[in-house]
Structure 1
Amino acid sequence: MSENQQKATSYWKENLKYLTILLSIWFIVSYGAGILLKDTLNSIKLGGFKLGFWFAQQGSIYVFVVLIFVYVRLMNKLDKKYGYDED
């Protein structure tokens, strides 16, 4: 295996690791907080709405948007680490 192939394989493995972690966080927030823990979270109010309802309707979307920005930052660092950045 050439050095470029090893570099590309390492890059892709790290990328998949980041994707797995970030999508797991999103799944836990959207499914866990919005569905599984909704009854527990509904005892807390946020802006006049029950917290379980808020996570099901808004929270998972906000978390997803934040995770997109985190992913962009992580990928920029990863690109620089492996020399794929365009700077």
Structure 2
Amino acid sequence: MASEQRQKAKAYWKENVKYLSILLIIWFTVSYGAGILFKDVLNEIRLGGFKLGFWFAQQGSIYVFVILIFVYVRLMNKLDKKYGYDKDENVFKNK
């Protein structure tokens, strides 16, 4: 039983780290890529009177980060249900 719980917890954290990695790569790509690497190309497009590269560097990456927080919460709620950690019991106590 303890071995089964350990495997379940290991699989849970493996998926959690996968989600975190993907979301952080997206955030890095948007903040570094759009704000620095591709700024010259994006600056040819205007958004609300501002160059798009400037907008991503100043505000866009923050908006994307906040959206990714909500995506992470949703993914973690689904993951908790998948592994049975959504119940009201203390799942971290040792047995």
TM range (shorter): over 0.9
* Unaligned runs of at least 5 residues, structure 2: 89-95
Asked if 1:32 corresponds to 2:38, the answer is: no
How many residues are treated as equivalent by the alignment?
A: 87
Q: Return the offset for 1:86.
A: 3.0
Query: Which consecutive unaligned segments of at least 5 residues does structure 1 have?
Result: none
Task: Give the letter for the 1:64 counterpart.
Answer: F
Aligned-residue Cα RMSD (Å) equals 1.0
The two structures have a TM-score, normalised by structure 2, of: 0.89
Instruction: Give deviations 1:25-45, integer Å, cap 9, x for gaps.
Output: 000000000000000000000
Q: Which residue of 1 aligns with 2:60?
A: 59
| Aligned-partner Cα distance in 1 for 2:28–2:87 | 32
CA distance in 2: counterparts of 1:50 and 1:74, whole angstroms: 33
Partner of 1:43: 44
CA distance in 2, matches of 1:48, 1:22: 29
- The letter of the residue matching 1:86 is K
Paired amino acid for 1:5: R
Partner of 1:70: 71
Q: Percent same amino acid among aligned pairs?
A: 83
Structure 1 residue runs of 4+, over 4 Å off? Answer: none
Q: Which amino acid aligns with 2:29?
A: I
Q: Return the alpha-carbon distance in structure 1 between the equivalents of residues 37 and 71 of structure 2.
A: 25
Q: Find the structure with the greater CA-based Rg.
A: 2
